[in-house]
Amino acid sequence: MVLTTTNPAPKQFVESSTFASRYVRQPLPRFQMPENSMPKEAAYQVITDELMLDGNPRLNLASFVTTWMEPECDKLMMASINKNYVDMDEYPVTTELQNRCVNMIANLFNAPIGSGEAAVGVGTVGSSEAIMLAGLAFKRKWQQKMKSQGKPYDKPNIVTGANVQVCWEKFARYFEVELKEVKLKEGYYVMDPVKAVEMVDENTICVAAILGSTLTGEFENVKLLNELLTKKNKETGWDTPIHVDAASGGFIAPFVYPKIEWDFRLPLVKSINVSGHKYGLVYAGIGWVVWRSKEDLPDDLVFHINYLGSDQPTFTLNFSKGSSQIIAQYYQLIRLGFEGYKSIMENCIGNARILKEGIEKTGRFEVVSKDVGVPLVAFALKDSTKYTVFQISDALRKFGWIVPAYTMPADAEHIAVLRVVVREDFSCSLAERLISHIQEVLKELDSLPSQIVKDSHVVTVAKEVVGENKDAEAAKMGDRKIQEKVTKQWRHFVKTKKTGVC
């Protein structure tokens, strides 16, 4: 992207590639199109050599996004890589496959679809686009209602937990909706439904609950939220709806926790998004949004395209895009079926448990993720006065592992955690290998003189906070304050680094 910042003194030329030097003698300009063409073999070699320095996607434990699919599906995707999804009259079968996926997912989420009725939903580039669309629908519906009542409609807001994924903040800023965030607290890292409902006012276009918090994988209590909001709506005469951001949990809960009510079984849930490229098991580039019914998607947001004499309504932000991801999603749905998804998700949860137990066994970490939720393990150091999770994250890179470390959002910023996402391709033996590498890293860090204590600024801070003559109580308080300060320092330090959570 053009917005990318370059190194302070960028090299003007790409290093001439080892093997491509058989074909080209001139170094390649870095930021300008080369004057001349080069042989295709050379271009291939130059790029392959440079890409070697990328991480190995399978060892990237930071991401929920699928990194492995069956070769048969790879083949299908390559075969349709030249189809533009938007050309619906040219590729009516692809459109049909999309519509089948929408219906299968809506049914999976218990949408109240009458017989002979089609579900309302659309394939998107990911949950981010899906959330933009769902948010726009809520905003438009709310505006229409306020207008019809002769009330001001210029200050819409959404109530969420402070743990929302960044795409909600994007939606809020791009589409001018205020985000009212319920703050977290130590030991409780999801939106508290009681506080959320307290924050709802007449300008609230929806409350967004997350099924599978990005930070800890924990499911928010949508059922309780639905109950409390129903009560509030009754008292106030409003009709504030709920959106469920099921980016990762949407393909887990129906298979592993069918009894948890979080979806269209709850009357206030009007729309749900899910990432096809997370536990939907497709490579990056596919998400879904489904609405409860036609009434929940304002008609003036929908564009109608006629193809082959029938009406294809569309509601997306972009126009052209590839078809492969949609075809791949259809492949997974029919290839795996309910049974296949269920066993894959159960296996992921089993592997997450093995990992969790191994991490607990070191005695050094407190696991903050829950057993019920998205299969991931988020864990904090019990004692981070000597070194922090950020150093552990850095040290694990040496073994090829990408394990992100981050601090929690407000008001739990002083807690820093490591997070390992367990995907289908993260096997039990990889889990065991990771645990042994974590043990090695701990041993190594234990043997080093503490980096933190060496940092004179932090020492000053520590002295300031603790004082010279501390009694036991003050020491306890002091330790925590030191930890907060230290975490703050590290937070500042990692701000410039790009390893966020996705």
Q: Which residue is nearest to ligand PLP (CB)?
A: 126
Minimal distance, residue 375 CB to ligand PLP, in Å:
13
Q: Of the two residues 167 and 272, which places its CB atom closer to ligand PLP in the complex? A: 167
Q: How far is CA 290 from CA 211, 224, 299, 381, in A?
A: 15, 22, 15, 40
Minimal distance, residue 385 CB to ligand PLP, in Å:
32
237, 202 contact by CB (below 8 A): no
Q: Of the two residues 212 and 482, which places its CB atom closer to ligand PLP in the complex? A: 212
Q: Of the two residues 241 and 276, which places its CB atom closer to ligand PLP in the complex? A: 276
Which residue type, as a one-letter code, is found at position 290? V
Minimal distance, residue 245 CB to ligand PLP, in Å:
5
Minimal distance, residue 277 CB to ligand PLP, in Å:
6
Q: How far is CA 198 from CA 182, 188, 239, 396, in A?
A: 10, 18, 15, 43
- State the Cα–Cα distance between residues 421 and 61, nearest whole angstrom: 5
Q: How far is CA 311 from CA 92, 114, 307, 327, in A?
A: 12, 20, 6, 21
CA angle 419, 420, 425 (to 5 degrees): 160
Q: Of the two residues 193 and 384, which places its CB atom closer to ligand PLP in the complex? A: 193
Q: Of the two residues 251 and 264, which places its CB atom closer to ligand PLP in the complex? A: 251
- What ranges make up the beta strands (E) of 151-220? 157-161, 178-182, 204-210
CA atoms within 13 A on the CB side of 50: 13
Question: Which DSSP state fits 54?
Answer: S
Q: Of the two residues 142 and 279, which places its CB atom closer to ligand PLP in the complex? A: 279
Choose among 94, 100, 101: nearest CA to 79.
94
Minimal distance, residue 45 CB to ligand PLP, in Å:
32
CA 237 to chain centroid, in Å, comes to 35
Q: Of the two residues 17 and 214, which places its CB atom closer to ligand PLP in the complex? A: 214
Minimal distance, residue 184 CB to ligand PLP, in Å:
15
Minimal distance, residue 502 CB to ligand PLP, in Å:
6
- What ranges make up the beta strands (E) of 67-164? 120-124, 157-161
Q: Of the two residues 226 and 248, which places its CB atom closer to ligand PLP in the complex? A: 248
Minimal distance, residue 243 CB to ligand PLP, in Å:
11
Q: Which positions ≥6 away from 445 have C-beta within 8 Å?
A: 386, 387, 391, 392, 395
Q: Of the two residues 210 and 348, which places its CB atom closer to ligand PLP in the complex? A: 210
Minimal distance, residue 175 CB to ligand PLP, in Å:
16
Choose among 257, 288, 329: nearest CA to 106.
288
Q: Which positions ≥6 away from 405 have C-beta within 8 Å?
A: 388, 389, 390, 392, 393, 416, 417, 418, 419, 494, 499
Say how many Å lie between the first and final Cα of the chain, rounded: 18
Q: Of the two residues 286 and 396, which places its CB atom closer to ligand PLP in the complex? A: 286
Minimal distance, residue 286 CB to ligand PLP, in Å:
8
Q: Which two tokens stand for residue 414?
A: 């002083």
Q: Following CA atoms 448, 453, 454, 455 in sequence, which dihedral angle do they give, to the nearest 10 degrees?
A: 130
Q: Of the two residues 193 and 212, which places its CB atom closer to ligand PLP in the complex? A: 212
Minimal distance, residue 350 CB to ligand PLP, in Å:
21
Minimal distance, residue 170 CB to ligand PLP, in Å:
10
Which residue type, as a one-letter code, is found at position 358? G
Q: Of the two residues 181 and 245, which places its CB atom closer to ligand PLP in the complex? A: 245
Name the residues that contact ligand PLP, by CB under 6 A. 64, 126-128, 165, 167, 210, 212, 214, 245, 247-248, 275, 287
Question: DSSP string covering 347-396, please?
Answer: HHHHHHHHHHHHHHHTSSEEE-S-SSBSSEEEEEES--SS--HHHHHHHH
- State the Cα–Cα distance between residues 362 and 36, nearest whole angstrom: 58
